[in-house]
Structure 1
């Protein structure tokens, strides 16, 4: 269970956990969480935060400073599509009704010369690129999820793509599985691992030895794919 407190201009989610006698701070792009022992009362937590205010703010600032900045999309940038490099380009001459991005060979071109002037063309172009990547991932999931689900002998109820900031996928007790759109930038064998990872949670809703044994049965090289995400995931998450 969690509740939220304000510390200067920062919103902190306080999460009570089974940890004993110590606190933990987790700073993510869209979330700051303070983990505290579950036996701590609300009064104890508020007193702790008040006493450690300077230290907490200092740690938050340090973590935020170390985070990669969100990529500013500009012509000439290299993007990834299923692990392959594609070049982002902008066309400011061809007239189009609305801003659109089209994959042409190894180039992803944004057609910017719209009938009506855009207030924030860079932001709109970024949204269109994200939309393109999302659609690419959706198409791949439609192809692969049924195949892997049959192999693992599970039946997911719904497959969707959403904007996660700190995870690649989620599996819910009712059979719904959600994937991070940024997976469209990962190699296909890495995406396959994430699909199998989430589908295996429909059998074992945990990370027990039995769960990892099932993952290994269907994805023997899963450790390699986990390592790829560990090494490259931060860059993808901050796109």
Structure 2
């Protein structure tokens, strides 16, 4: 069989896996298989689904991406979907802050070039993580109140491939980058994770709870699926 796909793929073998699985994330194709799977079976799987893989790769390539960042004054960042203009002030080290429609970062005047950019980036990350925690705590508390439940803790994390999670102990964790998205999208993810306090699955009952909290959740879900790659600082 002539097998020459128009894309690269990575094979990941595992002693724990029982079945073959295709996964496409961030333009990268992974084939996850049991450890003893023969190569011919892997190539047959990829060949069989090559049209589908190419379609998904094209869809992912067409999704909006985050703009390049140079961490210079005048750049536009978003917080809860609102545009904020970056202002850099020379002075003694001070936490970044949101002032009106601006992001104000104060850094030592002696810093230049890459060191200056790195410090601005650090200050922005610190600000967004702190602001994200406050937002998620408040929105989670409000959402929990509607269902008569309580989270054991609310945290923010730097997830690479998820926006939130709910542990078996009721701890809710959110990706801090989510706070860049519109407020309605944030509320959708909060509703999603809070619903897991009652249904730790994605059953029809779970989605009924989500819909009860946010009737138009599919709109926000679609926005996140399409624009999640733009949520970066």
Going from structure 1 to structure 2, the CA distance change for 1:226 and 1:25 (only over 3 Å counts) comes to closer
Greater strand share, structure number: 1
Give the deviation of 1:153 after TM superposition. Answer: 2.5
User: How far apart are the structure 2 equivalents of 1:207 and 1:131?
Assistant: 33
Q: CA deviation at 1:210?
A: 1.1
Conserved 8 A contact 2:165-2:193: yes
1:34 aligns with 2:10: no
State the match for 1:55 in structure 2. Answer: none
Could you tell me how far apart the structure 2 residues matched to 1:174 and 1:220 are?
Answer: 27
Q: Quick one: distance in 2 between partners of 1:149 and 1:183? A: 19
Q: Which residue of 2 aligns with 1:214?
A: 209
Structural RMSD (CA): 3.3
Gap runs ≥5 in structure 1: 1-9, 53-58
> Counterpart of 1:227?
222
Cα displacement (A) at 1:26 = 3.0
* TM-score (norm: length of structure 1): 0.72
Deviations 1:12-35 (A, max 9, x none): 75463645xxx5243449xx6734
Choose which of 55, 76, 79 in structure 1 pairs with 2:74.
76
**TM-score, normalised via structure 2 length:** 0.74
* Aligned-partner Cα distance in 2 for 1:75–1:202: 43
2: distance between equivalents of 1:35 and 1:167? 20
How far is 1:99 from its partner?
Answer: 5.6
Bigger RCO (CA 8 Å, 6+ sep): 2
**CA 1:194–1:44 in 2, change beyond 3 Å: closer, same or farther?**
same
Alpha carbons 1:86, 1:108 under 8 Å: kept: yes
Partner of 1:56: none
- In the TM superposition, residue 185 of structure 1 has moved relative to its aligned partner by 1.0
Confirm whether residue 181 of structure 1 aligns to residue 176 of structure 2. yes
Counterparts of 1:88-127 in structure 2, within 5 Å, are 88-91=86-89, 94-96=90-92, 98=93, 100-114=95-109, 120-127=115-122
Aligned residue pairs total 208
* Per-residue CA distance 1:120-177 (angstroms, 9 max, x = gap): 2212211210111111111112222122112223221111001112211011112111
**Matches of 1:111 and 1:12, distance apart in 2:** 47
Contact 1:17 1:36 in 2 (8 A): no
